[in-house]
Each structure stands twice: as C-alpha cells, then as structure tokens.
C-alpha cells in the first residue's frame, strides 16, 4: 500500500493517508505538520519522536470493555490532522517542536513495553496516531510478535485503505466522534463528519474491539436531539453493545466556555441509553456511578469503577454476567 502519489512534474505529491488528501510541494508538509515531501516521497519527520509515555490504566484511554483493570504503556508524539479549537492536548497536537530530543526506535519501544510490569501492550494516543502511521504499524507488528496488544485512540479521520490495513495490526480502537453534525466538524475541527462515520463502520465490521468517545461542549453538541441521532446511528451501524463515553468538557486551548454542567452529561447519558447498552460518563470527578458496567439483561453491576480504580464484581472468566449469563466482554 502506497500512502502518496505523484501529482505533477514540479515534484508536488498527494498524501493519501487521510481525507484531506494534501497536495505537498517539495520540502513542505501537509496539514498534520509531520508528513513532509522529501526526495519525491512522504517522510514522517516524527518517526520515533516521543512527546510522552506512561504506564496507564486501560480505562484512561478510555477503554472499559477491553481487559478492564489492566495497565497499558501509552505513547504519543506531535501533530494532528484536525484543528479543534477545544483540543485537550493542544500543546502536543498543535505544536511541532524544532528540537526533538526523545526518540525510540520501534524495537526499543517494544522492549520497554515487554519489560513494563503488568503491561498488556501499547496504546498509541495523546496526539493523533493516524498521522504516525508507518511508525505505529512497525511497532504494532513487533509488539504482536511479543504477545502484546495494540490500541489506537484516534479521531478516525483516515482514508479507507490504510484503516482497513490497520485493522490487521490494531486490536482495539477508541474513536472520537466529536459531533453528529457535519457543520460542527467543518467549523470547529477543519474536517468533515462522513469519513469518521465510515471509520466507525469499518472497525465495527472488522471484528476488532471498538469504543467511541464524544466530548460534550455546551451549546455546540449537547442537544437531546443530537445525542438521540448519534446514539441511534451507532446502534444501527456499529451495534448497541459498542460502549459510548460521554466526556465532560473543560475550558482549553482557544475555547473559554464554562465547563459542561454535570446534569447535562447525565441527561444525555439517559438518552443514549435508550439505544445503547453501555454508556459511560467521563471527567465527572466526585460523581460516582457513571463508570460502572451494568448487565443490560438483568441490570446487575458487573464492574464497579471509581476514577481509575476497577473492581470486577460479577463477571465470569469468559466475560459473561455471573447472574444471568449475558455476554458483556
């Protein structure tokens, strides 16, 4: 699979990784800031460049139905192919430092993951890992060879062919569905909605684990009608068993609106729950219960969560509810 093509005789090439399909002149970069036209091809200038890594609870991604209670080595770089004015990680997604001192070759990263006590794998996260494609692919294949799991936390803004290929080496995805409005995507992210919906469909049909996150912004994507539309679409196109995480917004980057009221999150959770079996709330410190997993069949609490503390209370080893046998994980 080639992630770029020649555009004309002046050396301009077109990047084929994401729906922006950037036309990049020699020695220039695409919208993401990290994919450069160098010597007539795409050079990933952040290959191996690390903005941060840590051994995190898997719930922090968030993934609640993929090895709950486990730890995963989380790693990120710089850059993003979206321009969200509410970005929660803008210091690394919207900035490419001139001096990049921390580098890890794929084999070095995987060795750290193997040696990390209690670690189940590698999560590619923090900034946007789609634009880190070649590095992620190499790391993921090496990690799989060591028996490790690979996780992508992504905005889902990627073309079909590279995403289908990615499902061969990524075990679990959390896709950020920022809104169910194309107008919202165009105005606040510089992207469009349709490719993200297509990404959700592709991952759901691949058999890989999928969870979805929506950051709820006051006055922008918090209407009952919008949530009803989103949840109904997820149920019909990905399955009602796909977990949806509704995350509370706090002022960040270029947006200074007050934080989302907790009662708004809880109201939207109730609406989404009419269509989906598992709806969770995030960034709701001091409000308990929003992270618990309930059996949709008998309503038993099978996993209790408080922050990132996890206690499995009523699940069999095969992921079924101990009370009624319903398959949950």
Question: For residue 243, what are its two tokens?
Answer: 């977990």
Q: Which residues pair with 246 in a beta bridge?
A: 214, 281
The edge-to-edge listing of strands for the beta sheet with 4-6 is 4-6, 13-15, 23-24
- pLDDT tens, residue by residue, 40-59: 999 999 999 999 999 999 99
3-state secondary structure of 111: helix
Task: Return the domain boundaries, the chain.
Answer: 4-40, 46-291
Q: Determine the pLDDT at residue 314.
A: 97
Residue 100 has pLDDT above 70, yes or no: no
Residue 242 has pLDDT above 90, yes or no: yes
H helix or E strand, kind and range, residue 123: strand 119-124
Closest CA to 80 of 170, 190, 174, 200: 190
Question: For residue 218, what are its two tokens?
Answer: 């006051």
What percentage of the chain has pLDDT greater than the value 70?
Answer: 99
170 or 97, greater pLDDT: 170
Q: Which CATH class is domain 46-291?
A: alpha beta
Q: Determine the pLDDT at residue 289.
A: 78
Q: Determine the pLDDT at residue 102.
A: 86
| Residue carrying the six token digits 């080496």 | 169
- pTM above 0.95? yes
Residue 245 has pLDDT above 90, yes or no: yes
């Amino acid at each position: 699979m080639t992630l770029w093509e020649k555009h004309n005789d002046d050396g301009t090439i077109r990047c084929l990784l994401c729906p922006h399909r950037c036309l990049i002149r020699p020695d220039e970069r695409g919208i993401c800031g990290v994919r450069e036209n160098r010597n007539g091809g795409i050079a990933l200038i952040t290959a191996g460049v690390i903005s941060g890594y840590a051994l995190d609870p898997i719930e922090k991604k968030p993934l609640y139905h993929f090895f709950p209670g486990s730890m995963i080595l989380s790693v990120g770089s710089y850059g993003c192919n979206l321009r969200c004015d509410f970005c929660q990680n803008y210091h690394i997604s919207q900035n490419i430092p001139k001096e990049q001192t921390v580098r890890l070759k794929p084999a070095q990263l995987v060795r750290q993951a193997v040696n990390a006590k209690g670690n189940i794998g590698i999560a590619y996260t923090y900034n946007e890992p789609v634009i880190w494609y070649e590095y992620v692919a190499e790391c993921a294949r090496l990690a799989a060879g060591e028996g490790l799991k690979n996780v992508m936390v992504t905005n889902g803004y990627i073309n079909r062919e590279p995403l289908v290929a990615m499902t061969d080496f990524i075990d679990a995805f959390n896709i950020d569905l920022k809104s169910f409005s194309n107008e919202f995507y165009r105005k606040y992210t510089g992207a469009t909605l349709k490719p993200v919906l297509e990404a959700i469909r592709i991952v759901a049909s691949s058999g890989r684990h999928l969870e979805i996150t929506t950051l709820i912004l006051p006055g922008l994507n918090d209407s009952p009608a919008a949530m009803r539309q989103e949840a109904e679409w997820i149920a019909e196109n990905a399955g009602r068993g796909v977990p949806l995480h509704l995350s509370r917004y706090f002022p960040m980057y270029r947006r200074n609106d007050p934080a989302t009221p907790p009662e708004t999150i809880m109201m939207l959770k109730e609406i989404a729950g009419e269509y989906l079996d598992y709806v969770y709330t995030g960034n709701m410190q001091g409000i308990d219960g929003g992270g618990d997993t309930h059996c949709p069949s008998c309503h038993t609490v099978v996993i209790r969560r408080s922050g990132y503390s996890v206690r499995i209370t009523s699940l069999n080893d095969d992921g079924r509810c101990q009370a009624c046998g319903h398959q949950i994980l």
